[in-house]
Structure 1
Amino acid sequence: MSRHFNPVMAAALGIALVLGACGQKQESQGTPGAADTATQVKIGFAAPLTGPQAHYGKGYQNGVQLALDDANALNPTLGGKPVKFVLVAEDDMADPKTATQVAQRVLDGGVSGVIGHFNSGTSIPASKVYSDAGMPQIAMATAPAFTQQGFKTTFRSMTSDTQQGSVMGRFVVEKLAAKKIAIIDDRTAYGQGLADEFEKAAKAAGGNVVAREFTNDKASDFMAILTRIKSRKPDAIFFGGTDAQSGPLAKQLTQIGLKSPLISGEMTRSDTFIKLAGDAAEGTIASLAGVPMEQMPGGADFLKRFKERFGEPEIYSPYGYDATRVMVAAMLKADSSEPAKYLPVLASIHHAGVTAPDISYDDKGDLANGGITVYQVRSGKWEVMETLGGK
């Protein structure tokens, strides 16, 4: 390349630099306001975003994102300065070991709070990492152990398995008149915890547990278990686990000739379960925290706006939304995103949400109020059977 001075090129370069500077100035002037100077407040998020539970995690994440978008639309300020809430999402792959690594990575990223994790098996080990850092965490975890550790930083998005399991245990015995009950769980913190609570409640209501079997969360062949259960002639079969397994399980119940209804928790009450089980889904009963979407205080408006942005919501989308709005509300009320300053506000908050008119927590971080709705698959769709009390 020549190093000699070229006056034509120099002139052209000078004009380009001037025009570039003018363009930059005009762009800056064209978008004035809080957005230009807003300080980012990072909200961490962790859930399975790949693998067989990715549909849960993505629906959960979309609810969180919509909540942050809604909060930002109000031009929030903290300490008199404009802020913008930003999502920092991580995939924990529903794996407990990965979850603790993700938790540390989220903390290292400078977040001010965490929504997640999704699974009980990931939320529990991650909660120790967050607690040690004094970081508030609102998780989807439903296992009783999550809030029984004595941490002041742990809160739930949904009712616990103690609530769901106990309600369903009584329901199966008292409303379905099932006296002989078989139970299967996937040996995860969620599946086993839900099954344990169901068993206690069913026995207390007068039911007889004639079989208690377990599998793992990767299994797809349940024929050996079902063969053992069939000989006990149960009136109902309860499964604690995800739709990735309850779908094939329902099919195999039909194949082996077991006519006992399949009962399960909220991770089965999904459209994915119906797709996986096909015709065998018919008659399956599952519980879900809260009331149906159309009965939620802000359900209709949430559903409309969510569909416009992301399409159909997943089971956990409105709960992710509410958890995020609750955390943001605590920050705004405390006028700070510093965990130590807004954590006491979060612990005592009362928030009107989409899923409930008054979201608040007890001294453990469990939801202070909660109901359970029981659904059944009828003509290929989940239909409401009954809404029952939680606590």
Structure 2
Amino acid sequence: MIKSLLTGCAAAAALSFALSNAAYADTTVKIGHVAPLTGGSAHQGKDNENGARLAIEEINAKGLVIGGQKVTLQLDPQDDAGDPRQATQVAQKLVDDKVVAVVGHETSGTSIPASKIYSDAGIVQISPSATNPKYTEQGFKTTYRVVATDAQQGPALANYAAKELHVKKIAIVDDSTAYGQGLSQQFETAAKAAGMTVVSHDATNDKAVDFRAILTKIKGENPDAIMIGAMDATGGPFAKQAKQLGLRAKILAGDGVCTANIADLAGNAADNIVCSQAGVGLDQMAGGAAFAAKYKKRYEQDVVLYSPYTYDAVYIIVDAMKRANSVDPAKILAAMPATDYKGVIGQTTFDAKGDLKHGVISIYGYKEGKRTFINKVSM
């Protein structure tokens, strides 16, 4: 009888010890990332993924404890190919994978349709690069971004064109995406308000490679500048063909074109491009040099554009986890509005819609193919 009691006590103690250890066992927490990893913008998408992965590797190496449990972060990377339909499919996959938050998508055209799925699931979505104002104007509590919007970027670029480049006549082209249309429309409104004459507004698409018909028409209109709302895979060849056709007009573009890769895509026509970035450029970030060095060490390549923003987005999610003392998606979401985080890209605080309270627009040009900072506009 005594032996039986002792055996029972030992079993109970072992069970208690096992349960105690289970309570403190490692918890794996998934954070999703979505960007185009195939298609014309794959280089930008991979750059974004690299930034998120770098943050996760750093946090895991340092050790993360939430609610008394050791937490190991795991990146769940998905490819939306820059396609809105595929974006919604991978968004649902991430929900099914039980991620606690998502960094992405890269473009406005994919971020906007995917946002409804994350909203329905109550999962935080932080886009590092979607600039269309509509993204955060849908009334969702889950949508955030760490860049300025086209409502800020378009006017900043237009005002620079009017005041500094003294542009009087301008032609506008967009790539028919939510990003390209949104940016070009904001630019057009501001350009007219600044006294410029918009001689035409044409549409192409983000898969086009031959722009000679549009450019020949524009050449006859003789504008001082051409504004194109597109990504660099479109904007680069567009600028190159404009130069080949003898157009002397400056090429103006937004952040999708404003990359380190544009010289490869535009050739020596890159030096005719003036572009805006919906945030602080890497060379203007206080922590930019250090980030660039560790990014280069990890990936043996240079930053393309928005990897510092995906890097900070991961840290912002983890900051919300710490303040919530939980890895529950609902509690992470509840902690997000109070975000006040200082990272590589600067201080991040959000307004009621999930936009940055203090957006910044940077203006760049190119000299011998290298991106050169011109000016910064605080919004």
Relative to the length of structure 1, the TM-score reads 0.88
Match among 244, 259, 265 for residue 248 of structure 2: 259
Structure-to-structure mapping, 1:131-142, within 5 angstroms: 131-139=119-127, 140-142=129-131
Aligned residue type for 2:302: E
Deviations 1:45-101 (A, max 9, x none): 111111211101110001001111222223111111110111001111111111111
Deviations 1:163-221 (A, max 9, x none): 11111111111111101111000010001100011111111111111111111111111
Aligned residue type for 1:244: A
Aligned residue type for 1:128: K
Offset at residue 325 of structure 1 (A): 0.7
Offset at residue 245 of structure 1 (A): 1.1
Match among 332, 347, 360 for residue 342 of structure 1: 332
Are 2:295 and 1:306 aligned?
yes
Q: Which residue of 2 aligns with 1:59?
A: 47
Aligned residue type for 2:261: T
Cα distance in 2 for residues equivalent to 1:313 and 1:279: 21
Offset at residue 371 of structure 1 (A): 1.4
Q: Which residue of 1 aligns with 2:12?
A: none
Checking the alignment, whether the CA contact within 8 Å between 1:192 and 1:240 is kept in structure 2 is: yes
Cα distance in 2 for residues equivalent to 1:326 and 1:284: 33
Aligned residue type for 1:271: A
Aligned residue type for 2:349: S
Are 2:352 and 1:363 aligned?
yes
Structure-to-structure mapping, 1:189-228, within 5 angstroms: 189-228=178-217
Offset at residue 272 of structure 1 (A): 2.3
Cα distance in 2 for residues equivalent to 1:328 and 1:321: 11
Cα distance in 1 for residues equivalent to 2:31 and 2:176: 31
Equivalent pairs, count: 356
Offset at residue 267 of structure 1 (A): 1.3
State which structure, 1 or 2, has the greater radius of gyration over its C-alpha atoms: 1
Q: Which residue of 1 aligns with 2:65?
A: 77
Cα distance in 1 for residues equivalent to 2:36 and 2:75: 16
Does the residue aligned with 1:266 lie in a helix, a strand or coil?
coil
Cα distance in 1 for residues equivalent to 2:358 and 2:333: 20
Checking the alignment, whether the CA contact within 8 Å between 1:95 and 1:122 is kept in structure 2 is: yes
Deviations 1:283-314 (A, max 9, x none): 21111133332331221221121111013112
Cα distance in 2 for residues equivalent to 1:48 and 1:373: 24
Does the residue aligned with 2:48 lie in a helix, a strand or coil?
helix
Match among 365, 373, 378 for residue 376 of structure 1: 365
CA RMSD, 1 decimal: 1.5
Checking the alignment, whether the CA contact within 8 Å between 2:260 and 2:305 is kept in structure 1 is: no
Structure-to-structure mapping, 1:111-122, within 5 angstroms: 111-122=99-110
Structure-to-structure mapping, 1:8-157, within 5 angstroms: 37-139=25-127, 140-157=129-146
Does the residue aligned with 2:234 lie in a helix, a strand or coil?
helix
Q: Which residue of 2 aligns with 1:280?
A: 269
Cα distance in 2 for residues equivalent to 1:352 and 1:121: 28
Which deviates the most, 256-265 or 281-290?
281-290
Checking the alignment, whether the CA contact within 8 Å between 2:261 and 2:304 is kept in structure 1 is: no
Match among 211, 225, 250 for residue 239 of structure 2: 250
Does the residue aligned with 2:114 lie in a helix, a strand or coil?
helix
Aligned residue type for 1:199: E
Cα distance in 2 for residues equivalent to 1:329 and 1:123: 23
Checking the alignment, whether the CA contact within 8 Å between 1:153 and 1:343 is kept in structure 2 is: yes
Aligned residue type for 1:76: L
Cα distance in 2 for residues equivalent to 1:204 and 1:240: 19
**Identity among equivalent pairs (%):** 48
Which deviates the most, 88-97 or 71-80?
71-80
Aligned residue type for 1:55: H
Match among 265, 271, 275 for residue 260 of structure 2: 271
Aligned residue type for 1:321: Y
Cα distance in 2 for residues equivalent to 1:271 and 1:75: 34
Match among 319, 335, 347 for residue 329 of structure 1: 319
Checking the alignment, whether the CA contact within 8 Å between 1:297 and 1:353 is kept in structure 2 is: no
Match among 302, 307, 311 for residue 317 of structure 1: 307
Checking the alignment, whether the CA contact within 8 Å between 1:141 and 1:158 is kept in structure 2 is: yes
Cα distance in 2 for residues equivalent to 1:143 and 1:343: 22
Cα distance in 1 for residues equivalent to 2:271 and 2:289: 27
Q: Which residue of 2 aligns with 1:159?
A: 148
Q: Which residue of 2 aligns with 1:297?
A: 286
Offset at residue 255 of structure 1 (A): 1.9
Relative to the length of structure 2, the TM-score reads 0.91
Ranges in structure 1 where 5+ consecutive residues have no aligned partner: 1-32
Aligned residue type for 2:377: L
Deviations 1:348-371 (A, max 9, x none): 210001011x10111111111121
Offset at residue 269 of structure 1 (A): 1.4
